[in-house]
Structure 1
Amino acid sequence: MGFYVPNTEKQQREMLMDIGLDNFDELFSQIPEEVLLSEGLDIPRGMSEIEVAAKTKEIARKNRVFGTCLRGAGAYRHYIPAIVNNIVNKEEFKTAYTPYQAELSQGILQSIFEYQTMICELTGMDVSNASVYDGAVAAAEAAMMCRDRRRGTVMVSATIHPNVLKVMRTYCGAAGAKLMIVPMTEDNRMDLRALREELSKEEKIACLYVQQPNFFGILEEFDGVADIVHEAGAKFIMGCNPISLGILRTPKEYGADIAVGEGQPLGMPLSFGGPYLGFMAAEKSLMRKLPGRIVGQTTDADGERAFVLTLQAREQHIRREKASSNICSNEALCALTASVYMAAMGPEGLARAARMSMENAHCLAEKLTEAGLLIDDNAEFFNEFVTEIPESAGVSCGDILAMLERKDILGGLPLDDRKMLWCATEVNTISQISEAADVVRELLSDNEKEV
């Protein structure tokens, strides 16, 4: 966090005198001369408030918001009840950063406690922290929780989100940990045979991280995986889409030791990529290893319900060499947004949003198949799925996306020239889905005529 504090020249001279210096050159004398800027920063002149507002609007106009969005891949467009922003934008809550001295505000502590409680209810786990920066960081931090002196190898399924894999690789590299990837089968599922082989050969495995649904939208068969991992002495971590937990089995029911994920679907707009939040929940036995903040409920001197920060395994509070994580903050406003959203929706509302998303996605898959795209009929999926363009079609994913854009539709995420990851949520209407399928059908049929 940075601050801009304007000081007059007189104040600057007084501060220099107080520390026994004559000028700023002496203040920075320890910096090698070759890295100092002799001519100052090459930045534009300052602007007035009117000019800044105009410039900001000019930049904002470059962003295109599509009327129809059929893309997910980790960030999803869901309906956000009006009450969410109404509460979150109250001055008492509005801080993007973690609240310092939170003990002074029982209201802030209660909001965090309620968030933790609902995340536990959603995942089925025993304890949750007050969130971390995003879902990828949550996955990496979970893996670090499982390491000890005897076990330092992190296993990851090849079917997880590639961005999550990059962050986990960065964490493992910094910690000197080995990252082992369990390969996927041809139908985009984790290879269970390869998993068993690696667990039987490698004795230093600390954990296995999987994602349900996986990056390709597939609901994998994870029954019994926890038993296999636990028999090898490792922990089982499951990443999940929080909306899907409205109708799907919880990580707890799969036998997971830690549940993590990206909380963006819980009341946050796409926002050009953030800020978002990573949720983390774990078994009670791992409570003291959870990074960041945990708010606990207690009673005050008068016996009244009260809240307090507790179990903070943070590097500011203990010796750094003993710290389990350097996470020292959380996405406070985003966590509050998620808790308000979950409270507003309730279990029935969340289940309905999940069910409608799943139904719309299956409707989209059916219509795209009728339009001429190929899909894996054996794949069970929640709200995302992969299609493939027939080789004989003579068109690419780029051609389809360009045609859809003309109709104000953001198509799926291209995985290569012929494969695309599509998504639908409760906000997509049947007419939107039909229009997108018609565009694909027209493009494929026109190209066949030309061929």
Structure 2
Amino acid sequence: MRYLPLTDTDRSAMLETIGAASVDDLFVDVPEVARLDGPIRDLPMHASEMAVEKHMRGLSKQNLAAADAAFFLGAGAYRHHVPASVDHIIQRGEFLTAYTPYQPEIAQGTLQMLFEFQSQVARLYGCAVANASMYDGSTACWEAVAMAGRVTRRKRVVMSGALHPHYAEVVKTMAKFTEDVIADAKPAIQAEPDNDGLISRIDDETSCVVVQYPDILGRLPNLEEIAEAAHAKGALLIAVNTEPVALGAIKSPGELGADIVVGEGQSIGVGLQFGGPYLGLFAVRDKKHVRQMPGRLCGETVDADGKRGFVLTLSTREQHIRREKATSNICTNSGLCALAFSVHMTLLGEKGLRQLAAENHRLACIAADKLSAVPGVTLLNNSFFNEFTLLLDGDARQIVRDLSQQNILAGVSLARLYPDVEEFSGGLLVALTETTTEEDIETLCSALKEKLS
């Protein structure tokens, strides 16, 4: 049965206290088209447990698992091999049941893991300090924008047109509540990122410049040039990375001048998982900005007996301090996903990460050469890591749908990411990782030849 402890009188008293005429007044910001006007249609009011299990099994059979297809999807979520030992370790009771280290003296294992995780992220990003993680890459991106506003005391945000559109939408949505002005740009289909156009939009009121590295089309922007231009105007450079494996092959954003580096950690230790839960990474290059970081920061210390110990060094979220002094209202840090990231990164080590990145790039180069040789296919990029953009002589979105019926997940059509941009109709974003075989590449080439002939 349902547990409804409140009476009608209780509800009326609460509504009166907050000045609302009815419960519906609390949902006025939700578009009417998205609100239910009754029970969900076509859903029975009740069913037996066995009937529901049978129905759900039937629905699950409609899924095409990544491992059962020639897989070329990317655009911010990547299929990498996660060693079985990662899952074995995170399933240990002391990790699986841990929540959050409110009492450091009895949460030393969790704190040590987060301290080591922070150390790994800081080194990966080329920064001085990383926090104990965020929800995901898109919300980490917004938190970086908010932090830049606190540091610079400015409200104008310059966003690259090549920032992942989902990340851009999160920033725009949150900015509605903070009065930040978002100066964005339309994405352009061209071989190289429009660095000059981005730099031309930076002015004396700019708080930060947001650039993805590698960008949504797989290209590599010149972060050093952008950082120099941003710093000349007193703005911060925020670098967004959605594929951390790339940093085993290319220079870290912090090394290239980025002030705040954020991104998605899913590629390392965390499976695709139908879209979540994922892991937000956040780091700063300059220690003087640490107190403006969102979330939590674990630190190393010694106890009264001189023994090594771990503590929450900084915790500026609203659960711990007065709301008006909080840098963020983030209430967790995706701790289990952070643990999976840290375990996988530990297993790889620096040498393993570099080898993994090299294999990803090798396969991507093979695929780019073979796919661009298919009649009706043009490679857009001059440079890339493991993801690149193809221009097809046809509707890429329809081609992706058709090939999925052949157990080929050919990539992400740009029309899916940018449904309102007509010139993107033939764009196809293709990603390769160590899980892709050369046989998979040949399968995709043959399928495209047939579709475009």
TM > 0.5 fold call: yes
Q: Is the alpha carbon distance of 1:267 and 1:378 closer, same or farther for their aligned partners in structure 2, counting shifts above 3 Å?
A: closer
Say whether the 8 Å CA contact 2:195–2:222 is kept in structure 1. Answer: no
Q: How far apart are 1:189 and its partner, in Å?
A: 4.4
Deviations 1:380-401 (A, max 9, x none): 00111111123xxxx4224432
Q: Does 1:60 align with 2:60?
A: yes
What is the match of residue 429 of structure 1? 437
CA distance in 1, matches of 2:176, 2:165: 16
Moved more, 61-70 or 269-278: 61-70
Moved more, 259-268 or 46-55: 46-55
Q: Does 1:329 align with 2:308?
A: no
What is the match of residue 292 of structure 2? 289
CA distance in 2, matches of 1:331, 1:168: 20
What is the match of residue 75 of structure 1? 77
Paired letter, 1:404 = L
List runs of 5+ in structure 1 lacking aligned partners.
Answer: 13-22, 446-451
Q: How far apart are 1:414 and its partner, in Å?
A: 1.1
Say whether the 8 Å CA contact 2:190–2:380 is kept in structure 1. Answer: no
Q: Is the alpha carbon distance of 1:46 and 1:109 closer, same or farther for their aligned partners in structure 2, counting shifts above 3 Å?
A: farther
Identity %: 39
Normalising by structure 2, report the TM-score: 0.86
Say whether the 8 Å CA contact 1:403–1:439 is kept in structure 2. Answer: no
What is the match of residue 442 of structure 1? 450
What is the match of residue 29 of structure 1? 12
What is the match of residue 107 of structure 1? 109
CA distance in 1, matches of 2:379, 2:370: 14
- SS of residue in 1 equivalent to 2:269: coil
Q: Is the alpha carbon distance of 1:53 and 1:114 closer, same or farther for their aligned partners in structure 2, counting shifts above 3 Å?
A: farther
Say whether the 8 Å CA contact 2:72–2:411 is kept in structure 1. Answer: yes
Paired letter, 2:437 = T
Paired letter, 1:80 = V
What is the match of residue 212 of structure 2? 211
What is the match of residue 17 of structure 1? none
What is the match of residue 356 of structure 2? 353
Say whether the 8 Å CA contact 1:120–1:128 is kept in structure 2. Answer: yes
Say whether the 8 Å CA contact 2:161–2:188 is kept in structure 1. Answer: no
Aligned residues: 419
Q: Is the alpha carbon distance of 1:188 and 1:104 closer, same or farther for their aligned partners in structure 2, counting shifts above 3 Å?
A: farther
Q: How far apart are 1:51 and its partner, in Å?
A: 4.5
Paired letter, 1:419 = G
Q: How far apart are 1:67 and its partner, in Å?
A: 1.9
Q: Is the alpha carbon distance of 1:117 and 1:101 closer, same or farther for their aligned partners in structure 2, counting shifts above 3 Å?
A: same
The structure 2 residue matched to 1:128, chosen from 127, 130, 144, is 130
Moved more, 137-146 or 360-369: 360-369
CA distance in 1, matches of 2:140, 2:301: 27
Paired letter, 2:159 = V
Paired letter, 1:227 = E
CA distance in 2, matches of 1:5, 1:130: 37
Matches within 5 A, 1:278-317: 278-283=280-285, 284-317=287-320
Q: How far apart are 1:150 and its partner, in Å?
A: 3.8
Q: Is the alpha carbon distance of 1:372 and 1:388 closer, same or farther for their aligned partners in structure 2, counting shifts above 3 Å?
A: same
Q: How far apart are 1:196 and its partner, in Å?
A: 3.5
What is the match of residue 93 of structure 1? 95
Say whether the 8 Å CA contact 1:96–1:331 is kept in structure 2. Answer: no
CA distance in 2, matches of 1:188, 1:380: 8
Say whether the 8 Å CA contact 1:77–1:265 is kept in structure 2. Answer: yes
Normalising by structure 1, report the TM-score: 0.86
Say whether the 8 Å CA contact 2:219–2:381 is kept in structure 1. Answer: no
- SS of residue in 2 equivalent to 1:174: coil
- SS of residue in 1 equivalent to 2:209: strand
Paired letter, 2:8 = D
Paired letter, 1:348 = K
Moved more, 179-188 or 106-115: 179-188
Q: Is the alpha carbon distance of 1:116 and 1:443 closer, same or farther for their aligned partners in structure 2, counting shifts above 3 Å?
A: same
Matches within 5 A, 1:166-185: 166-182=169-185
Q: Does 1:193 align with 2:196?
A: yes
Q: Is the alpha carbon distance of 1:398 and 1:24 closer, same or farther for their aligned partners in structure 2, counting shifts above 3 Å?
A: closer
The structure 1 residue matched to 2:269, chosen from 259, 267, 270, is 267
Q: Is the alpha carbon distance of 1:163 and 1:98 closer, same or farther for their aligned partners in structure 2, counting shifts above 3 Å?
A: farther
- SS of residue in 2 equivalent to 1:307: strand
Q: Does 1:165 align with 2:164?
A: no
- SS of residue in 1 equivalent to 2:283: strand
CA distance in 2, matches of 1:183, 1:396: 21
CA distance in 1, matches of 2:325, 2:140: 20
What is the match of residue 449 of structure 1? none
Q: Is the alpha carbon distance of 1:162 and 1:188 closer, same or farther for their aligned partners in structure 2, counting shifts above 3 Å?
A: farther
Moved more, 419-428 or 140-149: 140-149
What is the match of residue 239 of structure 1? 240
Q: Is the alpha carbon distance of 1:258 and 1:34 closer, same or farther for their aligned partners in structure 2, counting shifts above 3 Å?
A: closer
Say whether the 8 Å CA contact 1:97–1:333 is kept in structure 2. Answer: no
CA distance in 1, matches of 2:98, 2:111: 15
Deviations 1:193-244 (A, max 9, x none): 3334332xx3221111101110001112233221111111011111112110
Paired letter, 1:64 = L
What is the match of residue 448 of structure 1? none
Structure exhibiting the larger radius of gyration computed from Cα positions: 1
CA distance in 2, matches of 1:426, 1:225: 32
Q: How far apart are 1:264 and its partner, in Å?
A: 0.6
Paired letter, 1:334 = C
What is the match of residue 400 of structure 1? 399
Q: How far apart are 1:285 and its partner, in Å?
A: 1.5
CA distance in 1, matches of 2:211, 2:198: 12
Deviations 1:68-96 (A, max 9, x none): 21110000000111111111112221259
Moved more, 163-172 or 174-183: 174-183
What is the match of residue 159 of structure 2? 156
Q: Is the alpha carbon distance of 1:92 and 1:382 closer, same or farther for their aligned partners in structure 2, counting shifts above 3 Å?
A: same
